[in-house]
């Protein structure tokens, strides 16, 4: 890449302040028409295939991969939305077939783009051609039209820097341990069923299937959404859905607190007739299920093989993520100076470099923070890379801040991250809340406000906040105390009914979100 390899470092000062125990779970989703989502996917896929990975430059290959990843995620969201919609049985069957073919197509394009980053000397392979894509888009539009559906934003892609490449590498690891042919563990042509757990499983299962197909395996793919209580999910797969599958790979972002979603799929395929020992998990991380896992679920996870590609083990053009962002930093700063170090400021670690002691730290919900890496040059110049996924709204908000003078300018983007200049200075505290400062925060909130919410979006937002408030109060203080917050929810609903317009933007006007730099700005 033409730069000195950067070292990823994390400060090790002991924590002096406990983290909060209350957890609020989001459910990012939006209502849109099938027509609009089809148009988005079609445009993104067309942009990838029109450009193609013909250039030999490393950065151009990586940018092409970013575009392919973006189109893949959008296609997976379309498949999820149609798969979750209540439709007439025949319409649903045909609709799922069409959108699944679109996601599979996007996955093959993504696979080709990823292969192009693995060997810098080889000519990148041609991406998949249209192959009926336009007709499928037209068919799905004619079948479902402008029906409004719910698109759930996969949290791993949106917040936690989960890369589709991880599932691709995990699939190849499974294939490597299960060679096909004479003497192999898998007979020639023995079918493999890949089961994606919606929402994110639509995208990840398509990537796994594409990787296995390119490895010469016989693959079929389905997705499903387990039902039941959040910590006690149940799945149903009948013998027809299992078909002649001899192996089943279950793909999801989990395990979460209970691990029950993926475990329920394993139980379902064995009930449908799969031989024991023929199922494997391809999760998004290597951790065990969390505190809400039941003994049977823990036992299922303990005996089921797992194939996980750790984030730190991924390589693009021979580089880990830290090296890619270090090289991109030198490029956007137009400097020959090397990045001296890359610091991981995720999980609340940014507080270590902003505050002199742990006692001054503000509270942070560390496990749910976006990934943040700081690239520091030898002269002290630094760039902060913050993960935003494919969220144009978040990126637009950062640009609006910069335009109005409330934040540093956006220097560039890469691999789902956005770069801004690191600002040295003093983080504000509550005592800084003079009238002028309060006015400034108000102006900033106005500057980053997005488009007005619809009445239904506002009601849905209040309901989600109300649910989170009640659940967390119940867990922390008991049901009786939780019931006492009900009037707050009713009051918020009443206020919302009187609003002619409402919008969301920053939502985090805490003092530590502001830095006073060396000039006093």
Peptide bond into 327 cis (omega under 30): no
The pLDDT, as a whole number, for residue 17 is 36
Could you read off the pLDDT tens digit of each residue along the chain, which spans 521 residues?
A: 334 444 455 433 333 333 444 555 556 788 899 999 999 999 999 988 766 555 557 788 888 999 999 999 999 999 999 999 999 999 999 999 999 999 999 999 999 999 988 865 544 444 445 667 888 999 999 999 889 999 998 989 988 899 999 999 999 999 999 998 877 788 878 899 999 999 999 999 999 999 999 999 999 999 999 999 888 999 999 999 999 999 999 999 989 989 999 999 999 999 999 999 999 999 999 999 999 999 999 999 999 999 999 888 899 988 999 999 999 999 999 887 889 999 999 999 999 999 989 899 998 888 888 899 999 999 999 999 999 998 787 788 888 888 888 889 999 999 999 999 999 999 998 888 889 888 888 888 887 777 788 888 888 888 888 888 888 888 888 888 888 888 888 888 888 878 777 877 766 678 888 899 988 88
The pLDDT, as a whole number, for residue 504 is 72
The pLDDT, as a whole number, for residue 216 is 93
Half-sphere exposure of 216 (CA within 13 A, CB side): 8
The pLDDT, as a whole number, for residue 123 is 46
Look up tokens 């402008």; give the residue. 146
Distance CA 32, CA 112 (A): 30
The pLDDT, as a whole number, for residue 306 is 97
Phi first, then psi: what are they for 309, rounded to 5°?
-100, 105
The pLDDT, as a whole number, for residue 183 is 73
**Burial environment of residue 495 by CB neighbours within 10 A (0 to 12, 13 to 18, 19 or more):** exposed
Q: Which of 259, 265, 244, 234 is nearest to 193 (CA)?
A: 244
Around Cβ 296, how many Cβ atoms within 10 Å? 11
Q: Which of 331, 338, 405, 415 is nearest to 371 (CA)?
A: 415
Phi first, then psi: what are they for 485, rounded to 5°?
-90, -5
Peptide bond into 162 cis (omega under 30): no
Around Cβ 14, how many Cβ atoms within 10 Å? 5
Reading the block at residue 325, the tokens are 């962002």
DSSP state of 251: E
The β-bridge partners of 480 are none
The pLDDT, as a whole number, for residue 51 is 63
The pLDDT, as a whole number, for residue 3 is 41
Reading the block at residue 451, the tokens are 């488009």
What are the E-state strand segments in 202-253? 219-224, 227-229, 232-234, 247-251
Distance CA 328, CA 383 (A): 10
| Contact between residue 74 and residue 41 where contact means Cβ atoms under 8 Å apart | yes
| Contact between residue 479 and residue 394 where contact means Cβ atoms under 8 Å apart | no
Distance CA 58, CA 510 (A): 40
What are the percentages of helix, strand and coil residues in the chain, rounded to 5? 45, 15, 40
Calculate helix-pair angle for 133-144, 89-116, nearest 10 degrees.
150
Distance CA 274, CA 243 (A): 9
CB contact set of 393 (below 8 Å; sequence gap of 6+): 450
3-class SS of residue 155 = helix
Helices (H) and strands (E) in the chain, counts: 17, 16
What H or E segment, with its residue span, contains residue 279? Answer: strand 279-282
* Residue 122 to residues 57, 61, 63, 314, Cα–Cα distance (Å): 11, 12, 17, 19
Q: What is the dihedral of CA 142, 146, 147, 149, to 10 degrees?
A: 110
């Amino acid at each position: 890449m033409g730069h000195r390899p950067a070292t990823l470092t994390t400060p090790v000062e002991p924590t002096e302040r406990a983290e909060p125990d209350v957890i609020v779970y989001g459910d990012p989703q939006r209502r849109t028409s099938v027509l609009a989502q089809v148009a988005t996917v079609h445009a993104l896929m067309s942009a990838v295939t029109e450009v193609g990975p013909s250039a030999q430059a490393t950065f151009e290959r990586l940018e092409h991969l970013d575009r392919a990843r973006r189109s893949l995620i959008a296609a997976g969201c379309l498949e999820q939305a149609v798969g979750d919609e209540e439709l007439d049985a025949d319409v649903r069957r045909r609709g799922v077939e069409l959108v699944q073919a679109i996601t599979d197509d996007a996955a093959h394009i993504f696979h080709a783009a990823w292969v192009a980053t693995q060997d810098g000397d080889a000519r990148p392979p041609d991406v998949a051609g249209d192959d009926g894509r336009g007709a499928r888009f037209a068919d799905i539009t004619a079948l479902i039209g402008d029906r409004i559906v719910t698109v759930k934003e996969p949290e791993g892609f949106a917040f936690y820097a989960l890369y589709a490449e991880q599932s691709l590498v995990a699939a190849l690891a499974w294939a490597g341990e299960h060679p096909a042919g004479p003497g192999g563990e898998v007979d020639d042509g023995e079918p493999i069923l890949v089961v994606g757990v919606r929402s994110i499983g639509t995208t990840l299962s398509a990537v796994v299937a594409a990787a296995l197909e390119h490895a010469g395996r016989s693959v079929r793919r389905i997705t499903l959404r387990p039902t039941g209580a959040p910590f006690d999910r149940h799945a149903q797969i009948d013998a027809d859905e299992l078909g002649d599958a001899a192996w089943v790979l279950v793909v999801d972002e989990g395990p979460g607190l209970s691990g029950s979603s993926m475990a329920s799929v394993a139980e379902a395929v064995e009930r449908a007739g799969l031989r024991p020992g023929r199922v494997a998990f391809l999760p998004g991380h290597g951790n065990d299920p969390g505190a809400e896992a039941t003994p049977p679920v823990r036992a299922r996870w303990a005996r089921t093989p797992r194939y996980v590609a750790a984030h730190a083990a991924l390589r693009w053009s021979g580089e880990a993520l830290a090296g890619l962002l270090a090289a991109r930093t030198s490029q956007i700063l137009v400097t020959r100076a090397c990045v001296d170090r890359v610091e991981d400021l995720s999980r609340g670690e940014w507080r270590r470099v902003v505050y002199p002691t742990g006692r001054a730290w503000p509270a942070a919900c560390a496990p749910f923070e976006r990934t943040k890496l700081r690239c520091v040059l030898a002269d002290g110049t630094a760039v902060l890379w913050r993960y935003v996924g494919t969220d144009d709204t978040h990126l637009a908000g950062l640009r609006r801040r910069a335009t109005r003078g409330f934040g540093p300018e956006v220097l560039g983007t890469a691999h789902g991250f956005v770069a801004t200049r690191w600002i040295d200075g003093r983080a504000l505290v509550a005592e800084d809340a003079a009238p002028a400062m309060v006015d400034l925060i108000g102006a900033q909130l106005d500057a980053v406000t997005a488009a007005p919410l619809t009445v239904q979006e506002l009601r849905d937002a209040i309901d989600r906040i109300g649910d989170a408030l009640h659940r967390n109060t119940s867990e922390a203080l008991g049901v009786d105390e939780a019931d006492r917050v009900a009037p707050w929810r009713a009051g918020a609903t009443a206020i919302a009914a009187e609003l002619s317009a409402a919008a969301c933007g920053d939502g985090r006007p805490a003092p530590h979100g502001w830095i006073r730099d060396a000039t006093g700005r």
